[in-house]
Structures are given as structure tokens and as C-alpha cells.
Structure 1
Amino acid sequence: MLIRKFKNTSLRLVLFSLFLITININSAISGITGKLTGYLKDAQTNEPLIGVTVLIKGTTSGASTDIEGYFSVLNIPPGVYTVTASMIGYSTTTFEKVKISIDQTTNLNINLKQSVLEIGDEVVVIAERPLIRKDMTSVEARVDAEAIKNMPVQEVRDILNLQAGVTMGRGGEIHIRGGRASEVAYWVDGKSVTDVFDGSQSISVESNAIQELQVVSGTFNAEYGNAMSGIVNIVTKDGGEKFAGNLMIYSGDYYSKEEQIFQNIGDFNISTNKNIEGSLSGPLIPGSDLSFYFFGRNYSTDGWLYGRNVFTIDGDSADGKYVAMNPRNKTSLQTKIKYQITPLLKLTFSLLGSQQNFRDYNHFFSLQPDGDVKKFDKGYDLSALLSHSIGTETFYTINLSKFQKDFREYLFEDPLDSRYLHPDSLNEPGYSFTNMGTNLHHFNRNTTSYVFKFDVTSQLNKLHQTKFGFESRQHKLFYNDFTIVPADDSIGQQIRPFKPAVLDKSTSTHDNYTRNPIEYSFYAQDKIEYNNFIINAGLRYDYFDSKGDVLTDPEDPNIYLPFKLKNKFDVNGDGKIDVSDDQTATSAIEKRRKYWYKKASPKKQISPRFGIAYPITDQGVIHFSYGHFLQIPSFSYLYQRPEYKVTSSGGLQGGFGNPDLNPQRTVMYEIGLQQQLSDEMSMDVTGFYRDIRDWVTSGPAIEVQAGTGYSMYINKDYANVRGIALSLNKRLSNFYTFNFSYTFQVAEGVNSSPDEEYFAQVGNSDPAKQLTSLDWDQTHTANFSLGLEDAGQGGFMILRYGSGLPYTPVIITQLRQGQSTSNNLIKNSRRRPDNFTTDLRLYKNIKYSGFNFNLFCKVTNLFDRRNELDVFGDTGRANKTLQTSNISQDPSANNTIAEWFNFPTMYSEPREVQIGFEIGF
């Protein structure tokens, strides 16, 4: 079915693409592989050698030199290889530790020495990776498996947070160059794994299963779409010719003296946080062309936020023991099977899967934690990748994949479970923890995507490497959100005792829908490599159809309860009120549906990309890039409350989705310099500017009757970001290596969140009329990492500094009856305290009897610094608010005012200590 749908469109686009390649439309190579090029010459005469065989050991890849001694090998997975060059009458030259990276050309120029023997002697050379990349036209960062292994990091976001231009919001979300968190696209093994519902990374990829991670914070290639801030491109490990295995086990706990903030944090229990992970790889059948790689991990933690089990959900006294309130249990796996059918044809099957069960801290439930909801998140990506080389200069790939993400949130799975309690049981005086009751929220979201991707890469000649491709994405989104209510009897009276019920989907408190949007895209790109400059340029076309419905008459939105009399009684929309207007509920709704909505229009756009690198010396390169980027808004803003069930209860209601939203747009510029400072050290300094338009925001109120209106999302907001990013790198020599990155950035916009405008209207505040600092605007960000290694033992330390994020100050103006009111000053006009964190990993490697043993200790937040992620608006600090001395506490409350205003989530994680070992072969 999927192939039939794609057949006609794909054929037309492929033919068009072949035409574009013949006229050299410029573009840039990107994806999951790299390229090896070079020249071979006679060491004595310096003449080019024709017909030299160049082979990459452990692969079927290779090439022969042409009349100019030039060779090129495409489609090489990232990794470290041994390369041989051989020719009769010359000594065979072997280069070891040749590193191939994704989206990068590695140059290897070789001089062969003549030999008196027919089969020459072998010369072994250790390849040294260049410190600067002469083909890099925009800023990017790369981290390979060897570097990740020794770093004190646990998750992918920990690695991302170390890169220049990357900041982390208070909730751990990643922002690249001042954009919203949803503007980052995540790619794994050549396919997007971004959750289209909210723009997050949908599937957990474990750091120890990564072969190479690439972060593109500058203008990115035309292959990548539906992103505006940056690309996170991950290539996972493969199986090799030999069996290899690894087992890692570690455990630990959070330990801090800040017991006035974090409960139950002063006792260290080595088994509280546990991790076990392992991998196995090699030939599926010894001596065959089938290889495999398997990785699995289970991680469980009680977290660092605790409550006390003082009350049961029924309000009875409990044991008073501490209970973890942000526990998490995560299981992930990765399987990859590769079949080298012929030396030129390869088929790879892969499965990525993860699931986690967790709870988020809820301050209100601190004294009876069992009453709050649990959360369940699972997803997988199943794909098949066919790679076929047509000769040595051209190859194509076909990728078919299915992705699914499922998220659920509830206390008890069955919404009619008798253990649920009446919502009135949660009623408490202000500033008080609840002593009984159950969270009645139920939520389920499921996203399924079917993806077809076709790419062709061709080295047309020594100057042009051209790539083009087509992608189709078909989505199915299911959404069900409701709150349990008391059941009524046949005459509308609540049943006593309480019995849980779920309201009909036609009611405003029950949001249920299924949508099937589609995406198509086409790109063409070329990498032009002259001796004195390199050009990357490309063109991308995107098509999106939300398949959603918009209102025919926005002033009468609710199909179930029309506000206008003509719509209420003229249910068939023929302009007459007569006997044909059947007033029964079901038939009336179905008749209205024929004219109530109209289809949203498809969206189309072309995006050019361009970059140039100009070497000024053999150790310095200037780079410049420019590009247009677009992104379809997250599906949550397209389909939220899609039937516009506005009630007559009054006030401004929102926010309602808008499936007719246009793509958000940004234009990005950057100019920078790469410079080698010594044989071991290099730097990169880059200035950048981003102009962002059509950001999603809440629209103005649409009035449906006096005192009642609603707001839907529209494209209106604007933002701009400008800054300078500096990175300084020293590779390992003399027993140490270090990396330093610094970013100065100013990120300003109208609104940080699409819902800010709606809340301003509800609060009778004026809409934003000027640019202000965005919530994640971190003016100064610096990261320093230092690695020491000698004879298999060493350490790695990371120091992170971030200047304070903005907050909106508040002045208390009135206190009455225990409640405070205040006036907000200019939004985000003041700064929170600066943040500083130190992480450390110490290790010792031991080799014995063919096994590699590694003992290690890792400490995050080494000095247990109390970083304030959020603050009270009246003081600008997390540990003090004027409200604690001015608010009167209700005598029936279960806590003091000071206990209520002690929010542990306002601080970063306390110190965590982990001890573990690793065995590999």
C-alpha cells in the first residue's frame, strides 16, 4: 500500500532530479557516511601514479587512482580505519587510525616508494587527523565514541549541553542559538526521529551506543528539513568482522547537605540508582556476510525529590516514610543487522526502542504521593536501509521506516476504577498540601509515522559531489485527554457514594481526535571543492498538508452547541428552518458537519542554502553561510481542541489549534574563522544572526457572544538572535587534552511561548508590543573540559558556567485575607543568579587475558552547588519570598507557609556519586 502511494510521485521526482544533476544544481553532502579522497605520487619523481589500488580494511570499499593519481571512496560509515595503497613495483603503504566522519571529506595524500621486489615491502604510517576542516562552511561539533566513553556524561543531552551555541532551559530542554526547543531536529542513522507532536526527541538513543554525534548549529544542508535552529545527527555503532562485547554496571545515589531543600538527601545508599547495559556484535554466522550489533540498557533511579507518606489517598494516617516523587525506570535497546549482499550492495535492518515509567514531582501531593498520576512513555523505530554503489563514483540509498511513540498519563489505568475519589476530596485551603484524594486526569497520545526516503550521491568529477533526494512522511496522530467526573443518574443527580465517569467526547472537557497529515520534500545539493575554496549550496522544496478542518464561520465555533440561532435550528444549512431540519442531537450534528468546516490549505515552500569556505593559509579557513529554513508548527498547535467546543460559561477560552497555520520561518547568517594555533591546538570563532518570523502565538479574542470568546493559534510573533561563538580545542598529547567553548548571545522576541499572549489576555494585560529577552536567553555560556590520561588511567572534568536566565519581577501591592496580589513589571527585565557546575570521572583500565577491565567513579555537581533554576518574582531568589511573612495560614492546613514556599524544583540536581565497572572483549 505504501509503495503504491509513492510510486507515481517518486518516479516524477526522480526524473526531475536526474535533470537537475546534469545541470549541476549546487548542494552539499550530508547523511550518515563520509568520503575519503587523495592523490598518490611517486616519492622520488613526484609524478602521479595511475592504477594504484586503495583499500579500506574491514570493508568492501576501495578505489583505483586515475591518470592524475586521484582517488575517491564514497559511502564510508564513520569510524577509524586502516587504509592500504599498493602497486606492483612499489612498497605497500598502510595508514592506520584514519578517521572518517559523517558529512566530511578526509584527505589522504600518499607518496609511494619504489621497491626492487615485485611485491614491495610494507610501510606503516599512523595517520594524524587535521585540526581544521577546509571543507567546513558552517559551524558544527562532532563527538565520537572514544571521546564519549571517558566523559562524565550519561544522556545525549549531557553531550549536547557542552557545545557552543547550545543552552539548556530550566526543564532540561535543549535550545540551539536562541531558538525554541521544538526547533531542533533529531536524526539517527539517516532518518528523523523527531516527535512531530511537540518537536522533542522521540526515542532514547544511549550515549554508549553512538559511533559519532554531530551537532550542526550553523546553516545546515538542504537534506535536513523541518528545523530552524539546528540538527543533532547521530550514527549508531555497527557490527564488525570480529566478535566484540561489553558489559557495564554502575550504581550510586544523590548525596547532599542541603536537607533544608531536599528531603531524605543526607543518607547515601549505593543501590538507589542502578544501571546495567551491554552490547554484543560481530558476524551473525562466522565467515558470512551477515553482521549484527545489539545494545541494551536498563536504568532505574529514585531521583532526588522526595515526599512523605503521611496520608493515604483515603485520608487515613500512613507510615510517614519518605517516598520518591520523581522516580524513573528506563529500558532501551538497539539492534542492527547488516547483510553485505555483494561488494556493492548492502542491506541493513535496524530497530531502536525505548520505554520508561516515571513520575514528575508535584508539590501539592508532598504528603500523600500515592495520589498523583504516573507516566508511561514508549516508542520504537523499525527501518530497512538499502545501499547500492553504482561503480565507485555513485551510490543510492532507499530507506523505509516506521516510527511509533505512545505516551500515557494516569493514576489507575481504568478510568472507572473504584479507587478514584470525588474531586472535592482535593479541596484544600490555600498554600496547603493535600491530605487525601486522587489526581483524576487521564491522557493518551500516540504518533505513528511511515517514512520513505530515497537519496542519490554522485562524485561527478573531482570538483562536484552532488546529492539529491526525495522523502515522504505519512503520520497518524491519536489524542485522548479527559478528566474523570462524578457519575450522574438518569435525572442528572450525582450518584452517592461517588462513582467515576467519563463525559462524552462532545463535551468541552473531553478532547479526542485522530488526524492523518502528510509531508513531502525534495532537495538537491552540490559540494564544489576547488583547491582554494569550497562551496556548499542547495535547494529544498517542502509540501505539507495537515488534513485538518478549519471553521467556516469563526464566530460560531461549537458544532454541538451553536451560538447563532440560524445555525442552531437550520441544521442542514439551506437557509430555511423547516421540517427537513431534524433536531435530534446526532443527526443535527452530522448535517451541520457538512458545512461547518472547510479543509485547511496545503503549505509549500522553497528554501535555498549556501556556504563557502576560503582557506587563507594552510592553517586558516574563513567560512560564510546563509540559508532559509522553515518548520511546520508542532502538531499540538495544529490540532489542540480541534472541534472548537467553546462553552457559554463566559470569559476567554483557549488555546484552540489551527490546522491552517503557516510554516515558521527563519533566515540565518554566519561568518567565522577556523585557525590552527599549533600542532595540537585549534580555534573557531563565529558570528551569527537569525531573523525569525511567523512564530506561533495565541491570536486575539474572537467574540461569540457578549462576555464569551476564544483564542486560536496564529502565525504572528517575531524574534531575532545574534551572537558570537568561540571554541578552542587541544587534542591528546603530553597526557592531556582540553576543549573550551564560549557563547555570547542575545535572544529577543515577542513571546517565549505560544500561550503567553493568551494568558496576558485572560489577565487583562496588554499584548506584547516590544521585543524582550526570551526565557532561555543566556547571555554568557562557557564550557571547559579537561582530560588527563597516562598508562590506562586518567580522569575527565567538565566545568559549565551559565549567566542567569531572565525573569519577570513582581512588586507586592496589596495583601488581603491571606491572599496576595501583585503588579508585574517589564517582562523578563531582570536576571536570575548565575549557574556553575563541575562534573568528574576517574577511571582505571586493566587488560588481562584478552579482556579489558575498566573501573570508574563519576560525580556530577561535584561541589554540590545550589544552582537556582527559578526564582520568586518579588526577591529574585529561590530561597526567599516576602509572601512567607505576609500570608496568613489557614489553621486546618497540614503544613506551614514556609514549607509550602520551599520548592525543591527551583534548584538544580544535587551531587550524585556513581561507582561502577566495565568488561569488554
Structure 2
Amino acid sequence: MKKLLVLFTIFTSAVAFAQSTGSVKGKLTDQEYNNEPLAFANVLIKGTTKGTTSDFDGLYYFDNIEPGNYTLVFSFVGYETQEVAVTVTPGKTEEVNIVMTASAASLDEVVVTTSTKRESETALLLEQKKAVEIKQSIGAEELTRKAVSNVEQGLTKVSGITTVQDRGIFVRGLDDRYNFLLVNGLPLASADPDNKIIPLSYIATSIVGSVDVLKTFNSSIYQDFAGATFQINTKQIPSQPVTVVNFGAGVNTNTTLKDFNIDNSGDLEFLGYTGGGRSLPGPYNKDATLGYTATPSESATMFDTSWTPETTKAPLSTRFGISHGQSIYNNGTDKVGFYFSLDYRNSFLTQQGVERALNSEGTAQQDFQTTNYNFSTQKSSLFGLNYKRNNNFNLLFNTIYLQNSSNFIREAAGENNGFTQLNDKVFYIRDTKYTENDLVSFQLLGEKSWRDDKHILSFGGSYALGNNNVPDRRVLRTAGEGEEAEYITTNGIDPFKFYQELENYNVNAKLDYQIGLQKNEELDKYTAILKAGYNYDEISYDFFNRTISVDQNYNGVLPFINTNDPQAFFDQGFEDGYLFYRNTADPQAKSFIDQSIHAGYLDFTKEWDRLLVQIGVRGEYAYRKITYREQLTSINSPYSELEYEPFDISPSFNVKYTLNDVSNIRIAGSKTVTRPRLREILPTTFQDGDGNQVIGNPEIENSKNYNLDLKYEIFPSNSEVLAFTAFGKFIDSPIERLSRATSVGYRTYFDNFDQAYIYGVEIEAKLNIGNVTNTEVLEGFTFGLNGILMDSEASADPDSDEFASVTNTNRKLQGASDWGINTDLSYKLVDKGETNSSLNLIFNTYGRRIYAVGVEGADEIYEKPINQLDFSWNTQFNEKIGLRFTVRNILNEKTLFTQDATQEVQFPEKYSNIIESFNQGVNFSFNLTYKL
């Protein structure tokens, strides 16, 4: 009885207290983002210590407030601070809803020191939670925290993604061939024939606001989808003027301040521009169709480049950049702003290792000790101009410029059974190759809404020009190395110069109309939406290559050639009249590829209380025409044309069920296609100089993919997530890289296999250790984990003539690892006033995978895992100065490719299955940022 009396007293007192106080609630929306909820904004009661932040849905709430008159203060970085008076009445809840608008304040009034909404980790987690499709995003804030300087490094922090050196992004074991790239919703074609998408290492984070990784298909993105579609969203235009200058430098333990060989033939070599220094001479230019033999005297002055590299000490790698953005006009109705960014990076890298070519018995056809020197540069630039009117019309014009260069020298010496004129000397090769990629894209994007967003019309288009240039590649081969090497030739293949140029243009457009069919007035949003759209994408490639040999007519034994100064040998030969340049008419010198896509789609989204369903269908007509001459035809033969014009229908569904306020369950399914890289269909033989070749196959067809995903996700707080995904893919006619050993090296080619499947599970976690363990001392620690465990199988009918040459018709899918881990541990060292400092430890690894499929009895070539451990220390001293120190590849593991013998090994004590291995070195760097 006494207990009941106590409980009754407590209850009545609580009711009485509640009736004597009041509450305030409301919702904050973002005018800059079509009145979407504004999360994580600050709400304070002026003159008191009471404060809160808006939640994922923009909602805030104060309870138990004494009656009276108060002023609420609403603030968010980059937005106008608003003050609103409110009267609190006993027993009642007052509602105050606020629309937040971007600030038009000048730099003198405020300086932006944190990222804008779309670039912050918490805002991107909010998007991930609300999105109907399965996706993950990484923004400028997280890219900065993890000390990454380009997009590729940043994406290795996403579950199921790995990358190795210059071979692009692997998603769920699927390599670059299975990915697609959008920039602000528009495709951006790669200028490099060896890459399906632009290598994301070329794109500096200074021009990126965020990157979305779409792992499930929806009808509004392009049908070329199997691994992921990457959506790069360029930097937003800030509401206040802000200028950022950065400078960085780095050291590589293999390279810095050590001897370094470089081909210094360009006009602006440091900046990565070759100019006219490596241009083709007139008799061999692109318009020349017949072969031409130059006289010795003409040969002596025909080229400006040298066969002798310059040896220097490798300096520090460097980086510098500048960006500026501001609003330049705002009258309350019309707003105009711009953003400009320019970033330059270079690096010097020396690698030493081995390269071998093995037959099915494990015997080495080639066995080289190799040293590679590579001076590379990357430039990224963005200029954006944005116009907004009345918050219902938005127009954005972007100019994006990307340029990269590689000044590469490979020196290898050892055994090469394909060359018989060695006279018991080692085979020596020096391959001097300069590569330059340029791309400029002009984008225009717009959006118009009316009738409170019941109707939304989105449109956009872009025009891009790309160029891949390999000018004056020089391949020198000798018997022996040093001062008494012998000039050699095999089967008429002399030392040669090689030129390659690939020009392309890319035009695309999109039109998208969305209508809201049902509106929930209480939530102020449409719960049924119908969307229809059209996409057009056209790419034209113009390919040219030219090989010019150094021929000789010397009677007797040629003089020795000094591999340390081969130019002296050629100068003497030209002067004495026994060396000269020549080429033969090449019917494959030019080829043309035209591709175009016409696509239409329909998408319907319906939202109930907890259920969100999106169903769609997309149809694409993808035309491809390859114009080329066969290898053994004449230069006077007519061009052959090979056309391929499939029409594919891609249905898709994405379903999200909200279990509670912090967790969702999702399921998605779709049918998509995969189109080949340019190199895989280019009807040209690419020579590596040492006997290795890459041959395209113009008859490759698109793969068809069937995708299914199931995901469960929990959001413990606005900065934490824990998610589990199960997925499966069936691929009909997968495109694969095959490798055949020849007498002088490897011949790589491509073809459709029969079928393959992949299935696995992923885990994604971003957790505050203090929250998880309920330990205050650990609250400064944040743990991130992205992991994948999967299996795959590629199979074909072993009795089929089509796959008779493939050694193993049942095996793992080429490029697929069984597992992968990306994890990081962060510690907030200092967080006081304007000063904050954090330490980050980042680890990435993956399981062994097939690099190339073996044929004619040879086994597959396997790629060994690389365990990479990185460290970064980021410090922001005040609102102006920041410093970042990083150490990359701390474990300094070697790349390793292996190929096992499939037949009995005759000399097991001499046998090694290693075909390639290189060290990387440890990289130390610092970067200083200053805000003006």
C-alpha cells in the first residue's frame, strides 16, 4: 500500500509539473536543397544553456520549459542565422518551423571553416539512410580526415572496393571493365584505351564535394552496370568568399635523392606537357600512308629526342593547388556564384624487381631483373558558375579539365629465349615511353520546379574532348649491357620508335521529368512519384599508330653499342651511312570506333508509413561500329566495317522497409549489361617491345548481368552505421583477359567466356568506440570497417570448340578475390576551440585473384594480396592554417604475380612460379593548407 502511495505521489507530481511547463518543437528545412530536411543544425534558447540539434528528419524538440517569452536561435555553417520569438504556455507544445537559407555575408563577417552540408560525413550518412537504392558515399570531410589526395584512394575506404597500382578500382571482385562513371549525373568517357573509366587517381579531391558508390541499379542510371556506378559530385559553390592555398611535398624511400633516369625531351617536362619535342617528322605524319625510308643524313636530324636518358637525382615529389569560391550576386531572388580550383601533383618512383614468362612446364622463356623509373604528373581543374532564381530554378555550368602524364623508362636484363643472337650475353632492353592524357569537358545542368515541387524538370548536357598520346616511344634491345653490348635484331624487328594517338569526342544529354502524384500534407512531401527520362551518349574514337625502325646495311660485324649512351652509336651510324630510319606501309595504322546510346526509362516510387518501393524499367539501344583493316591486307584495301547493335531492356526494383527510427532492411534486383573497354575491341596489336603483345577482339559482345542484393543497416547515431549485405550476380558471357605464352613473351587477348556467378556478404561499420563500450575515455576513438567475403565461378562447356584453348574451363572469375578488408582507426587528439588534431591508421588488403586466364595448357596468372598500412596526422591550428602528415605503404610489401606449372617440372630446384614482382617503397609526405 505504501509503495502504491509513493508511486501515485510521483505520478501526480510529474503530471502537475508537466502541466506547469511547456514544450517547443519544429522542423528545419533547407531552401538550397528544395526544402529537404536540414539535419544537424543548431537550435538554442537565447539567454539560457538549453540547446539541441535537428535530427535526420530536420526535427528538434525542447520539453519542460518554464512559461514565458523566449527567443530561439537557429544556425548552421554557411546559412543565415535566424532568431524567432516564441511564447511558452503551460501544458502546450508550440511549433516553430524554419526554412534556412544560404548566407550572403562577406568574408569580413564570417569565414567558412567546415564543410558544406553535402560534403560532411553525417549528412552523407543521412542520405544513405533515406535513399531507396543501396549506396555508400564519401565526402570532402572524410577525404580530408583520411588524408587522401585523389578519388581512388578515397574509394578504397568503401566496402567491397580494392585497388592495385594503376589498374583501377575493383568492386566486389569485378575490375574496371564492370564499372561506370558519372560526373554530376553525366557520363565522362576515358581517353585512355586501357581504362573503361577515367582512372580515379587522376581526379584530385580538391574538385570533389562527394562521391556516391551505387551498388544497385535503378532505371535512371546507365545500363552498363555490374560492379558499381560512381557518381562524382563536384564542389558546391560556397555562400561566403573563401580562398584556399595548399602546398605539399613527399619522399619515397626507393627513389628520393637517388639516381633517377628520365627522358627530358618535352618543352615543359616538369608540368607534364611534351609540346613539340616528341612530334612526328613530316614523312611519317598521320597523313602519310606509304612506307618511307630516310637517308642516313636525313635520319641524323629527323628527331629531336635522344636514345640516351638523362640521369639525375630524384627530387621530392610536390603538390600545390589553389581554390576560390564565392557568391557574386544576391538580391534575394536571383543568386549567382562561382567556384574555381586548380591542383597539380607529381611523383618520382623507382621500382626494382623481376619479370618472367613461363611455359606450362615452369621453364622461363624470359627471366629479367628490371628497374622502372616513372615521373608522373596529374592536373585537375574545375570552374563552376551557378545561377539560382526563387529557389525553383537552378542552372550550373562546369568546365572540368584533367591531364596526366607518365615519363616512364624500363630497363631489363636477363634471359630471353626468343632472341637467338645473344652470343652468351644477357638480353637487355630499355623501353622509353612517354604517355599523356588530356580531357576537357563542358557541362550544363539545370533544374526547374513548380507548384511546390509537384513538377520537377531536370536537364543537362556535356561536350568533352579527349586525347591519349604516346609520342616517340623508343625501344632499344641489345646483347649484353654496358660499353660492349651488341646491336641485335630478330625476325627483322630492329630497335624502333612507336607513336600512338587516340582522339575522342563525347557528347551526351539527359532529360528527366518527375511528377508528384500523392502528397502527405503533414510531412509536406510527395509519397508517390512518377519519373520518365531520356539519355543520349555518343563517343567517337580516332586511333592512329606508327612504328619506325632503325635499319642497317653494315657489311660485317657492327661496332659495339654502349647502353649507357646509345645515342652516340646511332649518331656514328648515321654519319657513316649504315644506319637509317624506315617504316613499311601499315594497313592497321588507322581505325575508327563509333558508339552511341539512346535510352529511355520509366520509374515509379511509392512510400507508405514504413515501406518505400521503387520499380523501373530502362531500354537502351547501343550501337557500335568498328572501321578497320585486317592485319594482312594492303593499305589500298577497303576498310572493313563491323557493326553491333543490341537493344536491351533492364527492369529493376529497390525496396526499403524501415524497421524503426534507426534501422532499415533493403532488397534490390536488376538486369544489366557490361560493355568492353576500348583496348579489348581495338583491332590493333600493341607491342611491348620485349615480345609481349596485347591484341583486341572487335567481335566481343556485351555481357548480361543479373543482380540481387539484400541489406540490413543500423544507424546508432548521426555519425555511426553498421550494415550487412548479402549479394549475388550471374553473368552471361563475361568478358575475360586471356594470356598465351609464346616463344618471345606473353600474348594477351580478350574474349567472351560462357558464364560466371558471384555471391558473397559485405559488412560496413563506422562506430565511436566510446559509445559502443560506454567508456568515456574511449570517446575520442572512431573505428571504421568495410569487409567482403565472397565466392565466384566462371565455367564453360569443356567440349566446346570455342573454349578448347582455355586450360581450366571451371575456375574463379578473372579479377575476383574471395575476400577484402578496408579498415581505419581514428583518434581525436585535440578538439579545443579553433584547434583540432586527429590521428588515423588505415589498413587495406584483399585475397588472391586471377590476373589473366591461362590457355593452351598454361595455368592462370595470379595476383598476390598486398597488405597496405597508412598513417595520417591531421591538424587544424586555427580557421586559417592546417597541416597534414602522412605515411603510406608502411609495410612496403612487393607486388607479386605467379603462374604454376601444369606439367611435371624437370628441374624443381630451379623452379620458381614468380612471373612479376616489384617493390613500392614507403611514402612520407606533408601538406600545408592556408585559407586567405
The two structures have a TM-score, normalised by structure 1, of 0.67
SS at match of 1:658: coil
Question: Which residue matches 2:618?
Answer: 540
Distance 1:336 1:163, change over 3 A: same
Identity among equivalent pairs (%): 11
SS at match of 1:152: coil
Matched, 1:845 2:876: yes
- Verify the 8 A CA contact 2:351 2:919 in the aligned structure 1: no
- Verify the 8 A CA contact 2:256 2:348 in the aligned structure 1: no
Of 542, 555, 565 in structure 2, the residue corresponding to residue 478 of structure 1 is: 542
Distance 1:44 1:195, change over 3 A: farther
Question: Which residue matches 1:184?
Answer: 179
Structure 1 position 834, deviation (Å): 4.6
Structure 1 position 627, deviation (Å): 0.6
**1:95-494 map, 5 Å:** 107-109=57-59, 121-124=71-74, 135-169=130-164, 171-195=166-190, 197=193, 198-201=195-198, 204-255=202-253, 271-284=315-328, 289-305=335-351, 325-360=373-408, 362-364=410-412, 372-393=432-453, 394-411=455-472, 426-428=477-479, 439-461=496-518, 462-485=526-549
SS at match of 2:896: coil
- Verify the 8 A CA contact 1:185 1:194 in the aligned structure 2: no
Distance 1:254 1:884, change over 3 A: farther
CA distance in 1 between counterparts of 2:765 and 2:822 reads: 10
Question: Which residue matches 2:30?
Answer: 56
Distance 1:459 1:882, change over 3 A: farther
Distance 1:179 1:809, change over 3 A: closer
| Aligned amino acid, residue 662 of structure 2 | Q
CA distance in 1 between counterparts of 2:249 and 2:349 reads: 13
Structure 1 position 736, deviation (Å): 2.6
SS at match of 2:245: strand
CA distance in 2 between counterparts of 1:229 and 1:842 reads: 32
Higher strand share: 2
- Verify the 8 A CA contact 1:520 1:542 in the aligned structure 2: yes
Instruction: Give the gaps of 5 or more residues in structure 1.
Output: 1-42, 63-72, 100-105, 308-321, 413-419, 552-556, 562-584, 645-652, 702-709, 752-756, 811-821, 876-880, 888-897
SS at match of 1:909: coil
- Verify the 8 A CA contact 2:219 2:650 in the aligned structure 1: no
CA distance in 2 between counterparts of 1:842 and 1:383 reads: 36
- Verify the 8 A CA contact 2:899 2:914 in the aligned structure 1: no
- Verify the 8 A CA contact 1:251 1:271 in the aligned structure 2: no
More displaced 10-residue stretch of structure 1: 118-127 or 233-242: 118-127
- Verify the 8 A CA contact 2:871 2:887 in the aligned structure 1: yes
CA distance in 1 between counterparts of 2:347 and 2:481 reads: 32
Distance 1:210 1:731, change over 3 A: farther
CA distance in 1 between counterparts of 2:352 and 2:539 reads: 39
Question: Which residue matches 1:519?
Answer: 597
Question: Which residue matches 2:306?
Answer: none
CA distance in 2 between counterparts of 1:914 and 1:451 reads: 39
| Aligned amino acid, residue 843 of structure 1 | N
Question: Which residue matches 1:648?
Answer: none
- Verify the 8 A CA contact 2:720 2:765 in the aligned structure 1: yes
- Verify the 8 A CA contact 1:131 1:681 in the aligned structure 2: no
Structure 1 position 334, deviation (Å): 1.0
| Aligned amino acid, residue 579 of structure 2 | F
Structure 1 position 715, deviation (Å): 4.2
**1:667-682 map, 5 Å:** 667-676=706-715, 681-682=720-721
| Aligned amino acid, residue 232 of structure 2 | I
- Verify the 8 A CA contact 1:373 1:439 in the aligned structure 2: no
Distance 1:435 1:524, change over 3 A: farther
SS at match of 1:147: helix
Distance 1:183 1:431, change over 3 A: farther
SS at match of 2:349: coil
| Aligned amino acid, residue 198 of structure 2 | Q
CA distance in 2 between counterparts of 1:735 and 1:868 reads: 35
CA distance in 1 between counterparts of 2:408 and 2:196 reads: 20
Question: Which residue matches 2:361?
Answer: none
Instruction: Give the gaps of 5 or more residues in structure 2.
Output: 1-18, 77-116, 263-311, 354-369, 415-426, 488-493, 519-525, 554-572, 687-692, 741-746, 771-778
CA distance in 1 between counterparts of 2:135 and 2:238 reads: 28
Of 755, 767, 770 in structure 1, the residue corresponding to residue 809 of structure 2 is: 770
CA distance in 2 between counterparts of 1:749 and 1:280 reads: 50
Distance 1:550 1:799, change over 3 A: closer
Distance 1:468 1:107, change over 3 A: farther
- Verify the 8 A CA contact 2:464 2:507 in the aligned structure 1: yes
CA distance in 1 between counterparts of 2:760 and 2:223 reads: 24
Structure 1 position 777, deviation (Å): 2.7
SS at match of 1:182: helix
C-alpha RMSD of matched pairs (Å): 5.1
Of 687, 690, 698 in structure 2, the residue corresponding to residue 658 of structure 1 is: 698
CA distance in 1 between counterparts of 2:164 and 2:239 reads: 43
**1:704-719 map, 5 Å:** 715-719=752-756
Deviations 1:599-628 (A, max 9, x none): 625211110011212233443322111110
Structure 1 position 171, deviation (Å): 4.5
Deviations 1:292-344 (A, max 9, x none): 1111111111113379xxxxxxxxxxxxxx99711102222111111225542
SS at match of 2:152: helix
- Verify the 8 A CA contact 2:738 2:853 in the aligned structure 1: no
More displaced 10-residue stretch of structure 1: 290-299 or 165-174: 165-174
More displaced 10-residue stretch of structure 1: 524-533 or 212-221: 212-221
- Verify the 8 A CA contact 1:132 1:620 in the aligned structure 2: no
CA distance in 2 between counterparts of 1:55 and 1:537 reads: 28
Distance 1:170 1:884, change over 3 A: farther
- Verify the 8 A CA contact 2:27 2:60 in the aligned structure 1: no
Deviations 1:264-286 (A, max 9, x none): 9xxx9995111111211102458
Structure 1 position 247, deviation (Å): 1.2
**1:833-872 map, 5 Å:** 834-847=865-878, 851-862=879-890, 864-871=891-898
Matched, 1:749 2:794: yes
Structure 1 position 121, deviation (Å): 2.8
